[in-house]
């Protein structure tokens, strides 16, 4: 086991550490330290389990913790209440009590489902995030947003519920398909755009080596991303205001994901195209210069990401989907826009005609 970085998300009595390193999965030290009862349920999926379940099972066996596993089907389309119910059914059938711990072993889909199940089982049991995609290591495993999709909207059912710890083992990224690595890089680039101009520059300098899976650079990118996210979450855990900046590109992106059907455009791909749309509107408003678009498009393209939305989504479809998004309040669509690289803000005070121009296919 090698821990490159240990960060703390400082949320008072809900504080927790994020461990970032290599060979963390097979080492019992961290998991044991964060399991307080005598039982655990590992939640994983049919792709991740064959790769990494053994290692986690072994750790629990060595620690003499009674364990169960539930292996869900792989895919965003299974991020549903039905999956949550299957977890609850198993917990009850196998008589897990309030001191049990759920271990989310997988990407953001598994983390969101398992975290939500943990938040409602017997009014809340502990859970540990073991994110195995870049996207989940830099974003979804940190900050306590858990939940599932509804056919009428993404992430419409959920809860804020913080994990006991996050274990980000960089080695797991070695088996990740290139397209998924790119999707994670979209969220990494997002941090540079919203609050960290220095990191954006670092990414421009290091993207080629990140794509070659340089482990130290990946650990560094995960660390800075988590640090940036933690700083925002610590100030606004329940998204009363500031936290919404983490959603740069997401209003547009969620519309793309929803209209195209869950799973067709990856979340990170939709966010990449959505961030360019947010930049387009910010340029139309005169808040940023064209060079922000050029640098962002170049970096996203280098990371293997789309920089344009699909052509077959109408303005009406965007507006309809965006108006039921959680960031819409009283029918007004709040958007995250930019004043500069590293300086995002949330506003509903933009010109509606300019928004229509940005949305025009
Ligand atoms: P994902 O969980 O679907 O994982 C992507 C694919 O990679 C899946 O096929 C998965 O089985 C596979 N996989 C996972 N780890 C692997 C590994 N190490 N090797 C090989 N294959 C592996 O997708 P994701 O991008 O991790 O997460 C996207 C989800 O996260 C979306 O549902 C999104 O809404 C959610 N999300 C949540 C938050 C939050 O704050 N809770 C933030 C961002 C995104
Ligand atoms: N991914 C956005 C958030 O955690 O708030």
For residue 240, what is the DSSP state? Answer: S
Tell me which of 3.30.9.10, 3.20.20.140, 3.40.50.620, 1.20.1090.10 is the CATH number of domain 178-359: 1.20.1090.10
Q: Please give the Cα distance from 359 to 361 (Å, whole number).
A: 6
Ligand 2 pocket, residue 141 CB under 6 Å: no
Atom 37 of ligand 1, residue of closest alpha carbon: 140
At 330 the three-state DSSP class reads coil
96 carries an active-site annotation: no
Ligand 2 pocket, residue 246 CB under 6 Å: yes
* pLDDT the model gives residue 330: 60
| Ligand 2 midpoint to CA 245 (Å) | 8
* pLDDT the model gives residue 329: 59
* pLDDT the model gives residue 261: 75
Outline which parts of the chain fall under CATH 1.20.1090.10.
178-359
Element (H, E) at 196: none
Tell which one of 18, 136, 184, 247 to mutate to probe ligand 2, the residue whose CB is within 8 A of the most ligand atoms: 247
* Helix, strand, coil percent values for the chain (each to nearest 5): 50, 20, 25
254 carries an active-site annotation: yes
* pLDDT the model gives residue 263: 67
Active-site choice (229, 269, 285, 334):
229
Outline which parts of the chain fall under CATH 3.40.50.1970.
2-175
Q: Please give the Cα distance from 237 to 143 (Å, whole number).
A: 7
Element (H, E) at 128: strand 126-131
Ligand 1 pocket, residue 43 CB under 6 Å: no
34 carries an active-site annotation: no
| Ligand 2 midpoint to CA 208 (Å) | 27
* pLDDT the model gives residue 331: 61
Backbone angles phi, psi at 103, to 5 degrees: -115, 115
Low-confidence ranges of the chain (pLDDT < 70): 262-263, 325-331
Tell me which of 3.90.1150.10, 3.40.50.1970, 3.30.450.20, 3.30.479.10 is the CATH number of domain 2-175: 3.40.50.1970
| Nearest ligand 2 atom, CA 244 | 5
């Amino acid at each position: 086991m090698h821990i490159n970085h240990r960060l703390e998300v400082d949320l008072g009595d809900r504080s927790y550490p994020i461990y970032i390193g290599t060979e963390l999965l097979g080492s019992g030290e961290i998991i044991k330290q964060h399991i307080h009862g005598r039982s655990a349920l590992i939640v994983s999926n049919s792709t991740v389990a064959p790769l990494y379940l053994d290692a986690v099972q072994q750790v629990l066996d060595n620690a003499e913790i009674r364990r169960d596993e539930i292996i869900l089907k792989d895919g965003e389309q299974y991020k549903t209440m039905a999956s949550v119910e299957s977890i609850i059914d198993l917990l009850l059938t196998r008589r897990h009590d309030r001191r049990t711990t759920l271990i989310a072993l997988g990407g953001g889909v598994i983390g969101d489902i398992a975290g939500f199940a943990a938040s409602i089982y017997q009014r809340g049991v502990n859970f540990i995030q073991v994110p195995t995609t870049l996207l989940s290591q830099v974003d979804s495993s940190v900050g306590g947003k858990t939940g599932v999709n509804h056919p009428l909207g993404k992430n419409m059912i959920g809860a804020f519920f913080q994990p006991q710890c996050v274990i980000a083992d960089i080695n797991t990224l070695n088996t990740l398909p290139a397209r998924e690595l790119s999707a994670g890089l979209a969220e990494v680039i997002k941090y540079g755009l919203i609050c960290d101009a220095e990191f954006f520059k670092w990414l421009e300098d290091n993207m080629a080596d990140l794509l070659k899976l340089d482990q130290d650079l990946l650990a560094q990118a995960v660390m800075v991303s988590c640090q940036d996210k933690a700083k925002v979450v610590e100030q606004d855990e329940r998204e009363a205001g500031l936290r919404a900046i983490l959603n740069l590109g997401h209003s547009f992106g969620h519309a793309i994901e929803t209209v195209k059907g869950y799973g067709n455009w990856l979340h990170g791909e939709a966010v990449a195209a959505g961030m360019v749309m947010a930049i387009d509107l910010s340029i139309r408003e005169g808040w940023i210069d064209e060079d922000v678009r050029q640098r962002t498009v170049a970096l996203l393209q280098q990371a293997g990401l789309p920089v344009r939305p699909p052509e077959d989504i109408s303005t009406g479809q965007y507006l309809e989907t965006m108006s039921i998004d959680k960031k819409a309040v009283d029918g007004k669509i709040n958007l995250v826009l930019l004043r500069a690289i590293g300086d995002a803000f949330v506003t509903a005070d933009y010109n509606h005609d300019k928004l229509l121009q940005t949305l025009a296919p």
